[in-house]
Structure 1
Amino acid sequence: MFTRTESFNEFIRFYPAVTLIILFNLLIFLMTSLPILPGDTIFERLAGVNLYIMEGEVWRLATPIFVHSGFPHLLFNSFSLVLFGPALERMLGKAKFTAIYLLTGISANVATLFLEPMTYIHVGSSGAIFGLFGFYLAMILFRRGMLSKENSQTVMTIAAIGVIMTFVQPNINITAHIFGLIAGLLIGRLFLTKL
């Protein structure tokens, strides 16, 4: 389920939502060094800045999901998405998968807005990726038959490691990770009761 054996072309064909998200992340990353205005960059226009959000730049609740602070940041989040996104996209379909990814990422950024200082700046798709983990956890807790025991153990282990690493690594948006996970769990609970 979490092992990728597809060719590059098969991956694109089977998982169009995951592919487009990764492509969009990569394009935004490549564009972050292009100046828009003197002294202004795409990174600065799209990053989550709590003060600017409160001043009306509400797009910054969504755009940080696609902006990364460096190539290792982009690579790690893309790798996580390649591992854990395809199975969920296959189960839910591309539209529902994309909606869950965006809703959990935005929820993580809303929590960041209200719980972090006004000067706080944040970027990255980790909140949305933790949202996927939360959705998987909802499957484990409320719809046990959707995942095998082995896959459930894998999800639980990776989620636990992810939460631990959230508190160990420097420069991590702890609020986004935790509230992305919670949002995924709650959305999963609501969604899975309707199946």
Structure 2
Amino acid sequence: MFIRHESFYSFRKNYPVITTLAAIHLILFAWMNFLPFGGWIQYFGVGFNLAVANGEYWRLVTPIFLHLSLTHVVFNTFSLVIFGPAAEKMLGSVKFIIFYLLTGIIANIATFILEPLNYSHLGASGAIYGVLGFYLYIVINRKDLMDRNSGQIVVTILIIGLIMTFAYSNINILAHLFGLISGAAIAPLFLVGVKPYYMQRAAYTEPSEPVFNPNRWQQRAKKKQLMVRIAWIALAALIIIGILSRLF
């Protein structure tokens, strides 16, 4: 579920929402840091509790797409590309983007209510933790939708993510927690009629992909072992990127 082996073209065709969100992250990051009016985007897009209290409610949405540092945008975009596609394929593009934005907004509302008025924040972490909450609900209550190895990866990522959330400063802890909680809480509403990820038909497959392979079972076992190894490598990369994002 979480190992990507598509080409860029097939990834873009199969996961249009993830591709669009990743592009928005990178474009807005580049604009904020290197292009004219970048400061204007940051000024009017940052989640600032006092401004929200004064009626600027769009700030409950705009922080989901904005990142200030390179490590921050790389970490969140990488996480989205790894963990988002399976959810988009299971829910469909429309339901997924509604779910993603809703959990991010709930996380920002919690930040507004529980943090002081002078608190400001940026980042897609609340919505990404919402996606992880979606998987957490599946691991606990809908085991038929996820294989065991993928479930173990989700639990491992969540444990490490929560440790990092409380271990480092300058992290919006409330956004992480309420994104996770809201994702798990509303997941049942979005999972009605959903089929397991492995039963979803790809919207696009590479022309060179064989229709029948007599050695597919042996290859599947080898691929499964490779997927587990790559997952741990990806996990280590996430940890390293997260640590660097707190240091620089």
User: Which category describes the TM-score, using the shorter chain as reference length?
Assistant: over 0.9
Distance 2:192 2:140 in 1: 12
Map 1:1-195; keep pairs closer than 5 Å: 1-33=1-33, 34-36=35-37, 41-192=40-191
The superposition leaves residues 75-100 of structure 1 with CA deviations (integer Å, 9 ceiling, x where unpaired) of 00000001000111111111111111
Distance 2:182 2:120 in 1: 21
Q: Which 4+ runs in 1 deviate beyond 2 A?
A: 33-37, 189-195
Aligned-pair identity (%)? 50
Give me the TM-score of the superposition, normalised by structure 2: 0.75
The superposition leaves residues 95-150 of structure 1 with CA deviations (integer Å, 9 ceiling, x where unpaired) of 11111110000000000000101000000000000000000011112211000111
The corresponding residue for 2:240 is: none
Cα offset, 1:191, TM superposition: 2.8
8 Å contact 1:105–1:127 — kept in the other structure? Answer: yes
Unaligned regions of 5+ residues in structure 2, if any?
195-248
Amino acid of the residue matched to residue 53 of structure 2?
Answer: M
The superposition leaves residues 46-97 of structure 1 with CA deviations (integer Å, 9 ceiling, x where unpaired) of 0000000010100000000001021110000000001000111111111111
8 Å contact 1:128–1:180 — kept in the other structure? Answer: yes
What's the RMSD between the two structures over aligned residues? 1.5
Give me the TM-score of the superposition, normalised by structure 1: 0.95
Distance 1:69 1:104 in 2: 21
Distance 1:154 1:97 in 2: 21
Cα offset, 1:179, TM superposition: 0.3
Distance 2:189 2:19 in 1: 26
Distance 1:162 1:189 in 2: 23
Q: Who wins on radius of gyration, i.e. which is larger?
A: 2
